[in-house]
Each structure stands twice: as C-alpha cells, then as structure tokens.
Structure 1
C-alpha cells in the first residue's frame, strides 16, 4: 500500500488520484517483487500504473523504506504486514487508500524436499495455518476499507 508520514502530508496535499503522485517525492522500492520504475495498483474501480519521475530516493529493502517514509521523506510502497503497526499508531497514513498493489505470495524455502526434518514440516504447517489468516486480517483492517 502507499503510505506517508503525517508530517509529510502536512506539508504536501495528499494525492486524490494516482496522477497526483507526480507532484510528490516518491520513494522507490526495488526488489524481486516490486519494480522500481513503476507502481502497478488496483482498486475496485480498476487498475492504474504510475511511473515515478524526477529525483527520487530508492532502496531495495522494505525496512529501509519504512524508515524513510516514517522520517517524512515522501510517499512509498510498503507491504501491509510491514506498515500495520505504524498505521495503527498514527506514525504512517495511507495515501490513495482505495488503491493497493497486487497481492504477493509467501514462500518457505528450505534445502531439500526429499529429506525434510519433522521440525521443518511442523513449522511449514504452522506457517500455512497462521500466516495466511494474519495477512488476511491485515487486509481487512487496512486494505479492504
């Protein structure tokens, strides 16, 4: 989701439409899951692609992005699970709340499927049982509003 600090939004009018992001300092996150050069978003009314232009701040780590956004450097993309505590406390505010990025998958990576320790199997089963429901609860709280 797109987020910014209250301090940043006090100095810059919050965007109403994705095109309004052109008037803002956009903080870019470049990872395997997030393309640095465009933000693909969707809402109940359709999809939007925003291509950030101009000088920008760029990182390849979600935690570094959270620090930059909290410090008031601009508007950035954060995963719901990464932003939820700051949203609840008021350190961050959703920007364009009707838009969000596409859902991502969560993977458990381990060395071998052939010789999986019982502890690993149990841990994966716990992840399957709990992570999805916790992420869904985050979505209901902040994304599906």
Structure 2
C-alpha cells in the first residue's frame, strides 16, 4: 500500500465529504478512492469514515488522523518544492576544491561576485594541489589543471579555459643582464625551476613560434620552487627568468612588474576543468557557479589578449 497516496485520497475525501468529489480532485475513480481508504482503515485497524448512501462523515479517530495527514502532506510538498527549486534557484551549501594558485587569484574573486549575486548560498572552499574524491569527500565541484586528457573517472567535466605558460623576467633583471633574443641565449641567465607535475624538472619545451619551437636543457639554477606563486614572486624580485602560467602572470604583466621574455614563444599549455558528479538534474548552485567562474576567467583572458595574441584560449561556452 502506498501510504502517502492513501493519505492524500483520505484527506480529499474527508475534506469534500464525498468519495466522488475527493476522487475527482486527485484524478482517480470513485472505486479507487473507496478501495484506498478501506485498505488504510484495515492497516490502521480503525474506522476513519462513516459512510451513508449520500455522504461520508469522519469519526473522531478520523478527524484526528486528518490533521496528521494534512501536516505530513504539507511537509512532503514543501520538501518536494525545495528539492525542485534546487534545480532553478541557487541555495544551500556549495563545496568547492581548487588548486592553490588558481584558487587565490581567480576562484576567490569569482566567489565574491557569486555570493553577491546568490546570497542564499554558503560556500566551503578548499585550496590544495591534491585532487579530492568528489563523492567520498563531499565536494560539489573540483577544479583540475592538467596538461593532457582527464582520466576516466565517471565524472562530468566542463572546460573553463586553456592557458600556456609564458617566459617572464623583471625589467630590473633584464636591464642588469640583457634580454635573451633566442632560446640559446638563455644559457647566460639564471633560469628558475618550477618543481611540479606539470613541468619537466630538467628542460623547457617551447612552442608557438612560426619558425618552430625548441627544447632547452636547463643548466643548474640558483632557485627551484614547487609553488607557482612563489616562482612569480621570485621573478618579480629579479632573481631570474622563469616560465609562469599565464593566468598567474597576467596581473603582473599588466602592472609592469613582469615583462615577457622571448614573446614569440609559449611553454607548457594547461587546461582547467570544472569536475562535478552528474549532468542530470544539476543543482542550480553548481551550474551558476561554473558559469560565474567561466565568465570571470574569460574576462581576464580577453583583457590580456594583446599579451599573447591568441583568441583560442577560452572556450566559446
């Protein structure tokens, strides 16, 4: 027996005082309504309605039971409405994971915009380089940076942007040492190393120049770090030359704190994805967050288009 269906039928019949009237409101036959209430009474071992040929009347037990049924039905309807609204109105708790550097420079500013627009959402943001298990650790969205294809995880992925790394130095450093004009000229410079899974530890692979790219075997350097932010700061402080991921380099290139070196070349293209569990019945807080972040990143990339001369770094939508 479907208890909720039986409660709804009983409520309609009791409120209307008629099996026929109650049945019509729910789109069932009179016989179906009568049978549902008889089964309900048998289940409860209590008579809920006194029947005559013309009308029905509630017993005392039936009147008390009607109040409880109305409360239960109302709560179920509220729960259904709230669940349905989750697909239309962003609300509730949004749990996000992001890599540290990208999170600080782009996720946090995008979140500020998002929270102003959707004040009913609460956000829990975790910044770390270790990608989480979304389902096991309870995240709604994880942002992933990769240089290749995403592993097959059964999750849904949305591409946010593709970005290269660009070789940078400070103006002070270049004035002191001179600017390299070719890849081979880098041998006379202090080449800083980024120790991450994205970069080979002993070489830089250049691409993007019409005359072709090239591979540069790194000489022993004075500094090696495992943080993109730390590397960018070291370059800004005139320690040496290094490839910096474009989204990290953009603000400093705009302000003049960094200068592009060998601007015809790029290194190590990376793609940023938003990963989430399912495309079906996607919660509004997830879809609107991804849209807000993509819009924020696109704005940054477009505003610095003149730095790279490329229009293919951001997906159309």
Query: Residues 57-109 of structure 1: CA distance to partner in whole angstroms, max 9, x if unpaired?
Result: 11111100111001110001112221122212221111111111143111123
How does the TM-score come out when normalised to structure 1? 0.85
Structure 2 residue 232 is matched with structure 1 residue 66: yes
1:128, distance to aligned residue in structure 2 (A): 4.0
Hey, what does 2:182 align to over in structure 1?
17
Provide the C-alpha distance between the structure 2 equivalents of 1:5 and 1:41, rounded to a whole number of angstroms: 20
Would you say how many aligned residue pairs link Structure 1 and Structure 2? 143
Greater relative CO, 1 or 2 (CA 8 Å, sep 6+):
1
Q: 1:85 to 1:131 in 2, by over 3 A?
A: closer
Provide the C-alpha distance between the structure 1 equivalents of 2:303 and 2:196, rounded to a whole number of angstroms: 25
SS in 2 for 1:56: coil
Provide the C-alpha distance between the structure 1 equivalents of 2:189 and 2:303, rounded to a whole number of angstroms: 30
Hey, what does 1:27 align to over in structure 2?
192
Structure 2 residue 277 is matched with structure 1 residue 96: no
Match 1:6 to one of 171, 183, 190: 171
Unaligned runs of 5+ in 1: none
Look at both structures and tell me which one has the larger radius of gyration over its CA atoms.
Answer: 2
1:48, distance to aligned residue in structure 2 (A): 0.9
Provide the C-alpha distance between the structure 1 equivalents of 2:296 and 2:236, rounded to a whole number of angstroms: 28
Structure 2 residue 291 is matched with structure 1 residue 125: yes
Task: Tell me if the contact between 2:192 and 2:221 (Cα under 8 Å) persists in the aligned partners.
Answer: no
Which moved further from structure 2: 79-88 or 3-12?
79-88
How does the TM-score come out when normalised to structure 2? 0.42
SS in 1 for 2:213: strand
Unaligned runs of 5+ in 2: 1-165, 311-317
